[in-house]
Amino acid sequence: MKKCALLLVVVTVLAFVFGGAAFAADKKIVVGFAQIGAESDWRVANTKSIQDACAEAGIDLRFVDGQQKQENQIKALRDFITQGVDVIGFSPVVESGWDEVIEEINDAGIPLILSDRTTDIKGDDYYVTWMGSNFIEEGRNAGKWLVEYLKKQGRNKEQINIVELQGTVGSGPAIDRQKGFVEVIAENPNLKITQSQTGDFTRDLGRTVMESFLKKGEKIDVLYAHNDDMALGAIQAIKEAGRKPGKDIIIIGIDGVKAAFEAIAAGEYNCTVECNPLLGPQFVDAVKKLAAGETLPKITYSIEGVYDETTAKEALPTRQY
């Protein structure tokens, strides 16, 4: 009997040391997921994808909507530790300010899966895996599309004024989508960002901030929005100002949600850079692999495209979000 007990201890310790299953896989797996909010069509599709995939896999999902507030997400994460969940899934609204709570998660020995956004914590020991998009590349793709489009229109020598609607201040996608876009713009002296402000990734703010851009009365040739929702809100403001979106002002957004495809098909929107929110199956796959004691890749990027008037209409019937 004593020998059996000793063997059990040895096996458990070995399993832990050599990266065995982080939790018992013979009972229902409990996952806590701290989501950012419901700020955009992208986020709504992302939430549905996670909830559907967990339900299908029979996972007990404790889902918390942080309403775009860091303090709500910190509270949710601490509650998950108290509840002793098996795995924590997390998409951080901004990059900084997570050190303390993540240390608490690590100390509690709960595996952390990051999805979509990341933090500014140095190193990668604090999470087991991250899945999402390359936001710098998305920004670059938006810039490259614009340069090509202007060339096609014979406007590559013309002075072009761009206004920018940024995502949530301090968030990974806002920082990186600006970085990638600016990198491409900098190689083209005729392109200039003349106004730039946050619209917090929402339709409402996209509309009001665009209104204030237009009120300044400066020449605006292009709108670059860090997501489709802000661009769609801005389209309203442009129409109300008596101008033609997609014609008088070139509109570029990111995400590739259905409403953006429809607006492109209607000739009111020019280009959307795809960002895939359907991360649920990948998330569940990671949870299952953890339960089986498998090692996961630190980073998995989604594969994504760019759509405009030459491709959006045809792709619309097959869009899933």
Binding site for ligand GYE (CB under 6 A): 39-40, 42-43, 116-117, 133, 173, 201, 227, 229, 254-255, 275
CB of 174 or CB of 250, closer to ligand GYE: 174
Sequence-distant (6+) residues with CB within 8 A of 194 are 161, 162, 163, 218, 220
At 7, is the secondary structure helix, strand, or coil?
helix
Shortest Å, Cβ 293 to ligand GYE: 30
Shortest Å, Cβ 164 to ligand GYE: 15
CB of 62 or CB of 117, closer to ligand GYE: 117
CB of 111 or CB of 173, closer to ligand GYE: 173
CB of 227 or CB of 282, closer to ligand GYE: 227
Q: What is the largest CA-CA distance in the chain?
A: 85
Shortest Å, Cβ 42 to ligand GYE: 4
| Chain CA centroid to CA 57, Å | 23
Alpha carbon distance 71, 76 (integer Å):
9
Radius of gyration of the chain (CA): 22
CB of 150 or CB of 234, closer to ligand GYE: 234
Shortest Å, Cβ 173 to ligand GYE: 4
Shortest Å, Cβ 226 to ligand GYE: 7
CB of 150 or CB of 209, closer to ligand GYE: 209
Alpha carbon distance 179, 183 (integer Å):
6
CB of 29 or CB of 141, closer to ligand GYE: 141
Burial class (CB in 10 A: 0-12, 13-18, 19+), 313: middle
Contact assessment for residue 253 and residue 308, using Cβ atoms and an 8 Å cutoff: no
The H-assigned helical ranges of the chain are 2-17, 41-56, 70-83, 99-107, 135-152, 172-185, 203-215, 228-240, 258-265, 280-291, 312-315
Contact assessment for residue 50 and residue 283, using Cβ atoms and an 8 Å cutoff: yes
Shortest Å, Cβ 278 to ligand GYE: 12
Shortest Å, Cβ 174 to ligand GYE: 9
DSSP letter at 222 equals E
